Amino acid sequence: MPVFVFTAGSLGDILATAGLAAQVVKTLYDNQNLAKECEILAVELRSLQSVLLMVEFALQQYDSTPLGAPLAHFVRPEVAQCHLALKAFSNKVFACQKALSLTTIGSLWQKVVWAASDEAASLSGKISGHRLKLCTLLITLNSRVPI
C-alpha cells in the first residue's frame, strides 16, 4: 500500500481525501440495508468532504501570507489522518466485497448489512474529531478581522 504524503496546501491531496470519502459513501449506499452506524458514517463523510473543500479554499487564500505556512502545518496531519483512516476502512470493505464476489453468494453483497458496524462507528468518531478541528480553524479564520 503506498504511503500517503501530504504536501502543504496541495489541492490534489485534499481532493484525494474528499474523493476517498465519496467512494466510501457510495459503497455504503450500494448496500441497501445500511446499519445505523453506516448511515451516521455516510453523513459524517459528506460533512468531511465539504469541510475539506473549504479548507483547501482557505489554504489558497492564505498561501502567500505569513499565515499560510502555519495553516498548512495545522491542516497537514488532520488531512493525512483522515486519509489513512478512510483508506484502511475502504480496504476492509472492498476485501469483503471481493471475497463475496468469489463465492456463489456474491450476489448478496447488495443485501448484506455491513457486519463491521463497530468499525463504521469507530471511523465516524475519528473522522468527526478531525473534521471538528478543521471546522474550528475555518471558524477562526472567518472571525479574523481583515487588516
DSSP state letters, 69-107: HHHHHHHHHHHHHHHHHHHHHHHHHHHHHHHHHTSTTGG
Q: How far is residue 19's CA from residue 82's CA, in Å, rounded to a whole number?
A: 12
Predicted confidence (pLDDT) per residue in 72-94, tens digit:
889 989 999 999 999 988 888 77
Q: Which residue's C-alpha cell is 468469489?
A: 102
Residue 3 lies in a domain: no
- Domain range for 52 is 11-141
Residue 106 lies in a domain: yes
Residue 124 lies in a domain: yes
What is the per-residue burial (b if ≥16 Cβ within 10 Å, else e) of 17-27?
bbebbeebbeb
Residue 42 lies in a domain: yes
The mean pLDDT value for 105-119 works out to: 59
Q: What's residue 15's pLDDT?
A: 84
Residue 147 lies in a domain: no
Structural domains counted in the chain: 1
Residue 137 lies in a domain: yes
Residue 1 lies in a domain: no
* Pair 7, 75: CB distance under 8 Å: no
Residue 4 lies in a domain: no
